[in-house]
Structure 1
């Protein structure tokens, strides 16, 4: 019967809380339908109010439904009604009653199911009302909705058009679901509060362009944030986030994203494919180890700050971010040991900070970063360029690497020429050796068969007398 209770997810959840031994928890699908509308279900005070609302007759209702077995198939019910109608038209009342008995049984079973499921539906509705009342009581008892919030909600309910709301520093512990009804909202600042979650109702703010939830106690952002298609600026810094929802990639209008000062260990794998308009990404002071490959799809990115993480490597594809102007990869300490050659493809780069890492060598083509104005290579075990050159700044490093590049090219050219000479010399040697061998062979043969000189005994020999002649 518990599977059938998926039609009544709130009832299923409360029954499991009421007696977990007797009632299984709702399915994952059912739980997902609950989250957007009942965000405080886990609160002890709320769940206590709900479990107390369960009538004692619920056990009997569930038992009867279980005893009835599966509900008749809708096609069988429809067919039974048709059969009964045909029988009534063709037989006498007595014969029709007898003939239609089997079909009437199907309809009665359907009616019993309807009546008992209606009881469950009524109970589901009642629990929703209890939940709403309990939440309201909870808010009042904790004084979590201050006068400013009440004023905003009252103005919205009176039909006033509200585009900007600043509730920063109000010690809010909860954002009421009613905020989702302020349809015209463009700017919402909830920073510096005590929020532990953002309700899914925020997804209804379809015109929202800027959202600031920084400096709270958020452990996650709602998946529904991906429905904010007009969102341009999102500041979720200084929270307790361990991840960002994959759905954030749907916020294709995002220009700025700040998720710094959190506990992120990774970024969504698809983040770059969606955020192709992103210009500024701040992810410093986290626990990131790698960049997702899709970051190279952020072709509009101009600013990337990933300092103070645990980054082990940078993808070669980073060279595709040709609009990048500022890149900070400092203070990844023992983890970051080098940067790929493709970093020199970032021809618009103006500032680069690679300090406090374990980098020994920078790419030979570094001189190609002609727009680079600020460069920090401090606190690295540098060998190329030297520490002394690195301290002189971007221009000195670029000149050093240009000279080094020229030397490398000259050396390659010299090696190439030498190799070419050796190849020609090798071929000439073979020709000389082959020519000499043939000459000697012909000379020896001539002398042997007597075509070019006398024999040792002074007499001429005929070709037929020669041993060599017989050999050929």
Structure 2
């Protein structure tokens, strides 16, 4: 059959299964659109019901459509209708019929296409209903949906309010679309199952505040997750995710996000612009190389765990996360060679873990982290401070860096004094002022950039200006 069936993707797929010699397979683009909505199309218990739904008249319908040729362009049809209306107003009925004949032909051809394509559209809808019905039957007949799932669905169907569902550890492999009908659901726990996908129907759970799909076999999340605007807690840890959908940024109520133990190599580019209420972000044990610049927009963030990744650099803008209390960047091994000076702007930081990296020096302004209680710098080629000092804890390190800073300040003042004596007081002070401006500009430049090399500044740069 030559007729283009791309506008009826499910029908196109079923027809090919029905008779592969007569009907060509749908295009790859069509197949890709089918997969998320109809993941069980190839199931041997479902396909027979779909093929049996194909009427015997389908071949005749497609033959007629092929014979008719391409459907007229909608603009041409609209123009033809306008022309006919103009002619009917300007000529007598006999003359109008003759004048409008050409335009009437275009309209009739479009109407014939309509009359033959309508049954195809109806059939497409019917196949969709058959698929949903068969999947429900299949789920109920297998262990994939156990008695507890069936009971939950029946409870919801009876009109009873269901706010919390816990189906963890049930060996579920599929979720019935009917779950999306429980519109009053607030908490849904699907952890520790065998799910490979989450149906788009989940987007109908507008009141959902907590979703736990951890410890499954998910390879992706549907874009429709972004429609869960009231979601506060999302746990997708311990799956096979390689990316998070950009739409997750629309979950603006999100307070906690756990995407640890996956295969993520990046985070969504604009994630920080949307998740400005996020307080806890767990992304450890992934393959993340860089943080997106937008992460600095997560101004509510208090907890960030990114250990055991492949992080190459920390953006200097991390200093904007002034509410951050716990930061774990440990075990990025050979990839993380330094942290930017702006990390010392995190004045509410209580715990900092930089162990198992390649850090040689921490920022000179480290003494500013006055609330820091726990500090781990183990397994680094440390030079400043020495590992011996680092092993004595946050307070000792802070005091060491304070004294180091005081020494740097004293040396800078001495240098300025020497210059003043050499060139005269006036010239010396001009030189000092010029140095100050240069240091300030240098500090600002590094603050707005990225610390791919750790952003380590030389002693006496922007922090010198800050102290003065």
Give the TM-score normalised by structure 1.
0.82
Q: 1:12 to 1:2 in 2, by over 3 A?
A: farther
- Indicate conservation of the 8 Å contact 1:12/1:26, yes or no: no
- 1:288-327, Cα deviation, whole Å (9 max, x unpaired): 1111111111111000001111111111111111110000
- Once residues 395 and 197 of structure 2 are traced to their aligned partners in structure 1, the CA distance between those partners, rounded to angstroms, is 48
Q: Which residue of 2 aligns with 1:469?
A: none
Return the index of the structure with the highest Cα Rg.
1
How far has the Cα of 1:116 moved from its partner?
1.4
How far has the Cα of 1:156 moved from its partner?
0.8
- Once residues 123 and 277 of structure 1 are traced to their aligned partners in structure 2, the CA distance between those partners, rounded to angstroms, is 46
Q: 1:425 to 1:394 in 2, by over 3 A?
A: closer
Q: 1:150 to 1:418 in 2, by over 3 A?
A: same
- Indicate conservation of the 8 Å contact 2:11/2:124, yes or no: yes
1:25 matched to 2:29? The reply is: no
Counterpart mapping for 1:210-359 below 5 A: 210-359=210-359
Q: 1:321 to 1:111 in 2, by over 3 A?
A: closer
- 1:410-437, Cα deviation, whole Å (9 max, x unpaired): 111111111222223999xxxxxxxxxx
- Indicate conservation of the 8 Å contact 1:242/1:265, yes or no: yes
How far has the Cα of 1:177 moved from its partner?
0.5
Q: Which residue of 2 aligns with 1:413?
A: 413
Tell which deviates more after alignment, 130-139 or 347-356: 130-139
- Indicate conservation of the 8 Å contact 1:84/1:103, yes or no: no
- Once residues 263 and 214 of structure 1 are traced to their aligned partners in structure 2, the CA distance between those partners, rounded to angstroms, is 14
How far has the Cα of 1:22 moved from its partner?
5.4
- Once residues 426 and 107 of structure 1 are traced to their aligned partners in structure 2, the CA distance between those partners, rounded to angstroms, is 92
How far has the Cα of 1:47 moved from its partner?
4.3
SS of match in other structure, 2:404: helix
How far has the Cα of 1:168 moved from its partner?
1.0
Equivalent pairs counted in the alignment come to 423
How far has the Cα of 1:339 moved from its partner?
0.8
Q: Which residue of 1 aligns with 2:77?
A: 74
Q: 1:17 to 1:273 in 2, by over 3 A?
A: farther
CA RMSD of aligned residues (A): 2.9
How far has the Cα of 1:85 moved from its partner?
5.9
SS of match in other structure, 2:5: helix
Counterpart mapping for 1:360-375 below 5 A: 360-375=360-375
Q: 1:20 to 1:310 in 2, by over 3 A?
A: farther
- 1:193-214, Cα deviation, whole Å (9 max, x unpaired): 1111111110111111111111
- Indicate conservation of the 8 Å contact 1:2/1:24, yes or no: no
Q: 1:29 to 1:87 in 2, by over 3 A?
A: farther
1:188 matched to 2:184? The reply is: no
- Indicate conservation of the 8 Å contact 2:289/2:309, yes or no: yes
- Once residues 332 and 144 of structure 1 are traced to their aligned partners in structure 2, the CA distance between those partners, rounded to angstroms, is 39
Highest RCO, 1 vs 2 (Cα 8 Å, sep ≥ 6): 2
SS of match in other structure, 2:424: helix
Tell which deviates more after alignment, 374-383 or 127-136: 127-136
- Indicate conservation of the 8 Å contact 2:84/2:100, yes or no: no
Tell which deviates more after alignment, 7-16 or 264-273: 7-16
Q: 1:216 to 1:89 in 2, by over 3 A?
A: same
- Indicate conservation of the 8 Å contact 2:88/2:96, yes or no: no
- Once residues 8 and 224 of structure 1 are traced to their aligned partners in structure 2, the CA distance between those partners, rounded to angstroms, is 22
How far has the Cα of 1:69 moved from its partner?
2.4
Counterpart mapping for 1:45-64 below 5 A: 45-47=45-47, 49-51=49-51, 53-55=53-55, 57-64=57-64
Q: 1:44 to 1:87 in 2, by over 3 A?
A: farther
SS of match in other structure, 1:114: helix
SS of match in other structure, 1:201: helix
How far has the Cα of 1:23 moved from its partner?
3.3
Q: 1:366 to 1:138 in 2, by over 3 A?
A: same
- Once residues 327 and 20 of structure 1 are traced to their aligned partners in structure 2, the CA distance between those partners, rounded to angstroms, is 61
1:392 matched to 2:392? The reply is: yes
Q: 1:142 to 1:81 in 2, by over 3 A?
A: farther
Q: 1:426 to 1:201 in 2, by over 3 A?
A: closer
Which residues of structure 2 form unaligned runs of 5+? Answer: 428-468
- 1:111-152, Cα deviation, whole Å (9 max, x unpaired): 421221123123213322331233134324433211111111
Give the TM-score normalised by structure 2.
0.83
Which residues of structure 1 form unaligned runs of 5+? Answer: 428-472
How far has the Cα of 1:109 moved from its partner?
2.4
Q: Which residue of 1 aligns with 2:459?
A: none
- Once residues 155 and 183 of structure 2 are traced to their aligned partners in structure 1, the CA distance between those partners, rounded to angstroms, is 13
Tell which deviates more after alignment, 328-337 or 72-81: 72-81
- Once residues 96 and 289 of structure 2 are traced to their aligned partners in structure 1, the CA distance between those partners, rounded to angstroms, is 78
Q: 1:362 to 1:43 in 2, by over 3 A?
A: farther
- Once residues 416 and 216 of structure 2 are traced to their aligned partners in structure 1, the CA distance between those partners, rounded to angstroms, is 63
Q: 1:96 to 1:351 in 2, by over 3 A?
A: closer
- Once residues 69 and 264 of structure 2 are traced to their aligned partners in structure 1, the CA distance between those partners, rounded to angstroms, is 49
Counterpart mapping for 1:105-144 below 5 A: 105-144=105-144
